[in-house]
Amino acid sequence: MQYKRVTSSNIAAIAYDVEHKWLGVEFSSGSVYQYFDVPKTIYDSLMYTNQMGGSVGKLFSVAVKGIYEFVKVN
């Protein structure tokens, strides 16, 4: 997965694996988490929000956190 930098106080970068539907999130703290079975539309929404200057962190909290299973990678 190729991580793309985002403008956020809490999230540093986001990546997506289309084949496996994995969402990778690198937090500003350096921690990296991988979320499973995440639809590509969620990734697209996060990147669009970033592009439009919206809050990536708020969208992540509503659309991903507490919804999808995850593991801490780093």
Q: What is the pLDDT of residues 33-54, one digit of tens each?
A: 999 999 999 999 999 999 999 9
pLDDT at 50: 96
**What pLDDT was estimated at residue 1?**
84
Largest distance between two CA atoms of the chain: 29
What is the number of residues in the chain?
A: 74
Tokens of residue 65, six digits: 């956190």
pLDDT band at 17 (very low <50, low <70, confident <90, very high): very high
- Structure tokens given for 51: 């592009």
pLDDT at residue 27 tops 90 = yes
The answer to pTM > 0.75 is yes
Q: How confident is the model at residue 18 (pLDDT cuts 50, 70, 90)?
A: very high
